[in-house]
């Protein structure tokens, strides 16, 4: 085929993927609306809308001519580096899509929507029995998809799902990293708890903390970090998340009038996700290479801002008088030192999203083990609560009193997201390395955070992470930005320095 025809084939593919990008964006906004604004009675209609969009996107991506266009475009010699990377991503996305039959795409979409809505009611009522049958149906469909992808890619069923969330990642890689964490984390957790118990008393900060004031404060911090309200908004949902599209970012949190700390850090976490999306290369946003590079990198960005930066002593000291003013606080409980002790409290708890950064990886390890067992057919929905409770006791030494605080707490499995969970801890490892590298790159970074200035940190990740889009693998992005492969050393050093050496 001539160079001209090969280049033309690539241009046709670009047009097709631009249309797909618009479909994915519409799907993302519909999902946001379902989680925040949609009346309960709209669930059936919304499930059908999303199923149809999923099918249209799948058919657009898997049409017979796409494979022909990809083959032709690969003969083109005149493509620049970004275009070649884009073509490789087109091929990867196409391979994932063609591995899943259209009929399964529709069934999965409908069941995901239905199971998620059942979960919302079941969790509120602590009624796992009503969720279990629907979760079993969804697991069966996810296993069907995993089998189809495994056959297509020559991978294990779980690795085939994992690749969709973290391209190129394999469970064997995770096993090595998690084994490394487990070799020191339980002992380190105990050491940190003993160190804190021997330290100054953590004084209670009395509420109530009105939601309106929490929201106002959250917006002020978002603006400080760099959130663009001309291209985004903050809302409330049962489970905090970041969605929408780069030019229309939708993030959510949830509020507790007895405790402002959770919602504020959730806002910072989701702002980190949003900043990543907004920082992707604008000229490539409608193409696969211009998308985010999987969930390990995504979670590294949220945790970089929430855990690494926003819990530095300097930033908490900057934040403390603003907290005091926002809620009319008086007395020693509102001293920066005491607020810092609240934000750095380490103790095993039942709820993952409220967990401290020392115990958090243990929550993820539990979910990783359980979802692998579910995908392997070794664990059913009926057996999940008991397996969950036993795992919590084994890893964290605690046992939840009910399923709402146990296996029903997360939205991921009811929404069909199997293979996502390990990326939270992989992201934490990457965040520690990136923060370490950013401080090397900018000597005054922590001093800037103490002034409420996030620009040096944001500038570092704009250059080394956001601007790369999907032109590199997740591990290439981390190693190029930090000078070493993803590992546990920076995370261990960070935990020891923050929680033991003070």
Q: Is 270 a catalytic residue?
A: yes
DSSP 3-state assignment of 245? strand
Of 39, 50, 143, give the one whose Cα is nearest residue 100.
143
Sign of CA dihedral 28, 238, 235, 227: negative
Please tell me the distance from the alpha carbon of residue 385 to that of residue 107, in angstroms, as a whole number.
Answer: 26
Please tell me the distance from the alpha carbon of residue 239 to that of residue 237, in angstroms, as a whole number.
Answer: 5
Please tell me the distance from the alpha carbon of residue 385 to that of residue 26, in angstroms, as a whole number.
Answer: 35
In a structure prediction context, what are the per-residue pLDDT tens digits for the chain, which is 502 residues long? Answer: 555 688 899 999 999 999 999 999 999 999 999 999 999 999 999 999 999 999 999 999 999 999 999 999 998 888 999 999 999 999 999 999 999 998 999 999 999 999 999 999 999 999 999 999 999 999 999 999 999 999 999 999 999 999 999 999 999 999 999 999 999 999 999 999 999 999 999 999 999 999 999 999 999 999 999 999 999 999 999 888 999 999 999 999 999 999 999 899 999 999 999 999 999 999 999 999 999 999 999 999 999 999 999 999 999 999 999 999 999 999 999 999 999 999 999 999 999 988 999 999 999 999 999 999 999 999 999 999 999 999 999 999 999 999 999 999 999 999 999 999 999 999 999 999 999 999 999 999 999 999 999 999 999 999 999 999 999 999 999 999 999 999 999 999 999 999 998 7
Please tell me the distance from the alpha carbon of residue 388 to that of residue 400, in angstroms, as a whole number.
Answer: 9
Q: Is the pTM of the predicted complex or chain greater than 0.85? A: yes
Of 262, 181, 225, 191, give the one whose Cα is nearest residue 429.
181
Strand segments, DSSP code E, in 260-335 are none
**CA distances (Å), origin 472, targets 82, 84, 479:** 10, 11, 11
Sign of CA dihedral 465, 469, 470, 471: negative
Q: Which secondary structure element, helix H or strand E, spans residue 410, and what is its range?
A: none
Please tell me the distance from the alpha carbon of residue 323 to that of residue 54, in angstroms, as a whole number.
Answer: 44
Of 159, 120, 116, 149, give the one whose Cα is nearest residue 135.
116
Q: Which of 116, 134, 262, 270 is catalytic?
A: 270
Q: Is 147 exposed, middle or buried (0-12, 13-18, 19+ CB in 10 A)?
A: middle
Please tell me the distance from the alpha carbon of residue 492 to that of residue 432, in angstroms, as a whole number.
Answer: 9
């Amino acid at each position: 085929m001539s160079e001209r025809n090969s280049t033309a084939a690539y241009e046709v593919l670009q047009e097709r993927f631009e249309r797909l990008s618009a479909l994915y964006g519409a799907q993302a906004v519909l999902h946001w609306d379902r989680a925040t604004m949609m009346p309960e009675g709209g669930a059936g209609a919304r499930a059908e809308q999303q199923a149809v969009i999923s099918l249209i996107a799948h058919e657009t991506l898997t049409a017979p001519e796409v494979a022909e266009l990809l083959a032709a475009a690969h003969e083109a010699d005149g493509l620049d580096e970004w275009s070649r990377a884009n073509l490789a991503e087109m091929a990867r996305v196409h391979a994932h899509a063609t591995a899943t039959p259209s009929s399964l795409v529709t069934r999965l979409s409908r069941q995901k929507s239905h199971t998620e809505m059942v979960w919302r009611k079941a969790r509120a009522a602590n009624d796992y029995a009503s969720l279990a049958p629907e979760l079993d149906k969804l697991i069966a469909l996810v296993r069907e998809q995993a089998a189809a992808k495994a056959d297509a890619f020559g991978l294990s069923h779980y690795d085939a799902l994992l690749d969709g969330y973290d391209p190129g990642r394999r469970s064997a890689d995770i096993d090595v990293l998690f084994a490394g964490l487990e070799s020191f984390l339980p002992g380190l957790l105990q050491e940190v708890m003993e160190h804190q118990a021997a330290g100054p008393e953590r004084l209670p900060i009395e509420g109530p903390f009105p939601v309106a004031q929490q929201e106002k404060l959250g917006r002020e911090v978002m603006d400080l970090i760099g959130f663009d309200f001309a291209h985004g908004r903050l809302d409330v949902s049962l489970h905090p998340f970041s969605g929408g599209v780069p030019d229309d970012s939708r993030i959510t949190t949830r509020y507790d009038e007895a405790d402002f700390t959770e919602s504020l850090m959730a806002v910072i976490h989701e702002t980190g996700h949003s900043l990543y999306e907004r920082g992707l290369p604008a000229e490539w946003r409608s193409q696969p290479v211009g998308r985010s590079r999987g969930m390990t990198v995504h979670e590294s960005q949220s945790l970089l801002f929430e855990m690494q930066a926003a819990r530095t002593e300097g930033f908490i000291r900057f934040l403390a008088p603003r907290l005091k003013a926002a809620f009319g606080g008086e007395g020693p409980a509102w001293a920066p030192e005491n607020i810092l002790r609240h934000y750095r409290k380490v103790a095993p708890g039942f709820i993952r999203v409220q967990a401290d950064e020392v115990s958090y990886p243990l929550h993820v390890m539990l979910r990783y083990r359980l979802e692998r067992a579910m995908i392997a057919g070794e664990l059913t929905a009926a057996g999940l609560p008991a397996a969950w409770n036993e795992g919590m006791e084994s890893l964290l030494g605690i046992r939840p009193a009910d399923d709402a605080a146990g296996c029903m707490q997360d939205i991921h499995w009811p929404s069909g997201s199997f293979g996502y969970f390990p990326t939270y801890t992989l992201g934490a490892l990457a965040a520690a390395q990136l923060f370490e590298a950013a401080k090397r790159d900018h000597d005054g970074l922590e001093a800037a955070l103490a002034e409420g200035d996030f620009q040096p940190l944001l500038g570092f990740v704009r250059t080394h992470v956001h601007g790369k889009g999907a032109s590199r693998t997740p591990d290439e992005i981390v190693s190029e930005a930090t000078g070493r492969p993803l590992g546990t050393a920076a995370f261990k050093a960070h935990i020891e320095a923050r929680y033991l050496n003070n």
